[in-house]
Amino acid sequence: MTRRFIIIACALILIAAVVGGTIGRSRRFRHSVPASGATSYTEADDIEKDYNEAVSAISMSYAGDIDYEKATQAAIQGMLSTLDPHSMYFPYNEFKKLKEDQDSRFYGIGVTIVQHRDGVYIQSAVEGTPAGRLGLRYGDRILEVDGKDARDWSSEQVSKKVRGGKGEPVTIKVDRAGSEAPLNFTIIRDSVPLPSIRNAYMLRPGTGYVGLTGGFQSTSDEELRDALDKLKSQGMRQVILDMRGNPGGLLNQAIDVASEFLPRGQVVVSVKGRTEYSDPIVYKSSGSDPEDVPLVILINRGTASASEIVAGAIQDHGRGLIVGETSFGKGLVQHVFQLPFNTGLTLTTARYYTPYGRSLQRDYSSGSLYDYYTRHDTDETKPAPSGSPTTRNIDSPLAQASPTPHPQSGPAVKTAAGRVFYGGGGITPDIDVKPLAFSPLRNRIAEAAFQFTRQLAAGLVPGLESYKVEKVQYGRNAKPGDYPITDRVVEAFRSFVRTDTASQLTPAQLDEDLDFAKLRLREEIITAAFSNDAGARILLDSDPQVLRALEALPDAKRLAESVRDETSRG
């Protein structure tokens, strides 16, 4: 890394962030005089001159050694941080991961890992991947990666180390319950699928569930189409689309996903850049034969960007109901720019708006970046705008289907069926439902349940040897008779808790929330036996947001029919 690299990289970011923000256009700065009397920058060349002088002074006169790479990253990110929370710089490894995620695959070993109290463990190996073929399994604790002690690493650190180039080996040492000595695996990295849809199955007779939780990558719509076709062949007549925790991704995939449910030609989203340069770009549904089944979409505070586009389009057009919590509120459009040496940046170039004109973006003008990412909707006690409804009619969404305005709401927007929504704060659900609540006690129960199940699945619990998992059975749905949580299992768990001092849990505390303990034990053993996806379904069956979504499906049907009738009369 040299001074030349700093100048090239920062020149590119200046061109993108300051000169115009759009490839192929340039812009000179307006002359302005601040109150202090000092003349501000009038041209991009002025900024470049100042920057070059600063770099020259540092290079020639700084007393210590200069890490040019670190200085470059700090300079670029410093400029981007003055713009908005989503314009970001990506060093080489992070930029590479960004491109891999958009391609829906990466090169690694193929495991889901999770952080526990004493290290990082394998939760599940992905079927058909190098780790799955070699037999890495639930409960394996990662001790070393390529000879380096990994016992104190975070899950993110482990993930970075096991990723690499296709065909490159990585050696992993694990501690496995029931094995006298650690086990060593030399794994040849290969392509690992990174699907958008992590789960799709019949939740109830006639009711399909599709978990579109893995972002919007290049294959998202194709995955959704395949999932819907599969579920229809199994008798699906209505569907719940789960986008909780979906961080977004590719705009074209969000449009295609929305097109699976909206009639051809309906607006999905509009994109507005700098008004003095461009007119809004309107994207419409391209669906030639959209699904007409009743639809409920699940969202939460982790639902962002492309997933908010889909939810907003469905809500504006009255095509279905939205259940869950207010979404994140990311309505800024980023373009990806590649810089020299394979680094890159994402730069905000426009804003998203729902079909009827609601802005998705939450306010970021005050507070810290930490507040922006972690503390949205904290001031829910503020009064609603004058004349707006102050309560939801949960039991009858058609009677009053306008969500309570967000504290930072924009102007009221009237949408299909006369429903009123407010922009500027993400997507507010038609039916607000809190997720399964966690507490310090439940966290301790969940941790103890994992440590106990690690012994149970290894066949080490006396009297329960039949629960030993010899080999993962991929692609199976758990039946009620598979690994049931009987009184004997519960009693064995109590005995484990008595001796497991690290869990800081007593049998009496366990009995305070025994139903939750049984749920977690069931989820853990099914994960060990049938993979991570099968385990996730156990939790979904008791998920309060999913259960409320099931109840909302008849209202979703009536809403869509009323909008369709109104459209035909118009």
> Is 521 within the bounds of a domain?
yes
Q: For residues 558 and 430, what is the distance between their CA atoms, to the nearest angstrom?
A: 14
State residue 274's pLDDT score. 66
Q: For residues 323 and 299, what is the distance between their CA atoms, to the nearest angstrom?
A: 6
State residue 265's pLDDT score. 95
Judgement on whether residues 448 and 518 belong to the same structural domain of the protein: yes
Judgement on whether residues 305 and 218 belong to the same structural domain of the protein: yes
> Is 201 within the bounds of a domain?
yes
Judgement on whether residues 224 and 295 belong to the same structural domain of the protein: yes
Judgement on whether residues 268 and 371 belong to the same structural domain of the protein: yes
The active-site residue, picked from 196, 220, 242, 330, is 330
Task: Identify the CATH number of the domain in which residue 140 sits.
Answer: 2.30.42.10
Q: What is the pLDDT of residues 241-264, one digit of tens each?
A: 999 999 998 899 999 999 999 999
Burial 495-527 (b: 16+ CB within 10 A, else e): ebbeebeebebeeebbeeeeebbbbbbbbbbbb
Judgement on whether residues 426 and 466 belong to the same structural domain of the protein: no
Q: How many CA atoms lie within 13 A of 294 on its CB side?
A: 18
Count of structural domains within the chain: 4
> Is 392 within the bounds of a domain?
no
Q: Go through the chain and tell me how many residues it has.
A: 570
Structural domain containing residue 225: 197-334+350-376+399-432
- Token pair in block for residue 10: 């920062």
Judgement on whether residues 179 and 208 belong to the same structural domain of the protein: no
State residue 31's pLDDT score. 37
Burial 287-306 (b: 16+ CB within 10 A, else e): beebbebbbbbbbbbebbbb
> Is 324 within the bounds of a domain?
yes
Judgement on whether residues 235 and 119 belong to the same structural domain of the protein: no
Residue 132 CB contacts under 8 Å (≥ 6 apart), including other chains: 110, 125, 126, 472, 474
Q: For residues 258 and 267, what is the distance between their CA atoms, to the nearest angstrom?
A: 10
State residue 82's pLDDT score. 82
Q: For residues 457 and 534, what is the distance between their CA atoms, to the nearest angstrom?
A: 15
State residue 8's pLDDT score. 34
Judgement on whether residues 492 and 505 belong to the same structural domain of the protein: yes
Q: What is the pLDDT of residues 500-540, one digit of tens each?
A: 999 899 999 999 999 999 999 999 999 999 999 999 999 99
Where are the extended beta strands (E) located within 257-320? 267-272, 281-284, 295-299
> Is 359 within the bounds of a domain?
yes
State residue 50's pLDDT score. 82
Judgement on whether residues 178 and 152 belong to the same structural domain of the protein: yes
Of the three residues 141, 173, 193, the one that is the final residue of a domain is: 193
Judgement on whether residues 204 and 271 belong to the same structural domain of the protein: yes
Q: For residues 275 and 141, what is the distance between their CA atoms, to the nearest angstrom?
A: 54
Of the three residues 175, 193, 211, the one that is the final residue of a domain is: 193
Q: How many CA atoms lie within 13 A of 475 on its CB side?
A: 2
> Is 560 within the bounds of a domain?
no
**Sign of the Cα pseudo-torsion (350, 354, 358, 363, in order):** negative
Of the three residues 53, 83, 113, the one that is the final residue of a domain is: 83
State residue 392's pLDDT score. 32
pTM: 0.81
Judgement on whether residues 223 and 370 belong to the same structural domain of the protein: yes
State residue 339's pLDDT score. 84
Task: Identify the CATH number of the domain in which residue 370 sits.
Answer: 3.90.226.10
State residue 539's pLDDT score. 93
> Is 305 within the bounds of a domain?
yes
**Sign of the Cα pseudo-torsion (85, 87, 93, 96, in order):** positive
272 has catalytic annotation: no
> Is 388 within the bounds of a domain?
no
Judgement on whether residues 243 and 174 belong to the same structural domain of the protein: no
316 has catalytic annotation: yes
The active-site residue, picked from 305, 307, 327, 531, is 305
- Give pLDDT tens digits along the chain (570 positions): 344 333 333 333 332 332 222 223 333 333 344 444 444 555 666 777 888 888 889 889 989 898 888 888 888 888 888 888 878 888 888 887 777 666 656 789 999 999 999 999 999 999 999 999 999 999 999 999 999 999 999 999 999 899 988 999 999 999 999 999 999 999 999 988 889 998 999 999 999 999 999 999 999 999 999 999 999 999 999 999 999 999 998 899 999 999 999 999 999 999 988 655 568 899 999 978 899 999 999 999 999 999 999 999 999 999 999 999 999 998 888 788 888 878 888 888 888 999 999 988 887 766 666 666 665 544 443 333 333 332 333 333 333 333 444 444 577 889 998 899 988 889 999 999 999 888 999 999 999 999 999 999 999 999 999 999 999 999 888 999 999 999 999 999 999 999 999 989 999 999 999 999 999 999 999 999 999 999 999 999 999 999 999 999 999 999 999 998 887 776
Beta bridge partners of 320: none
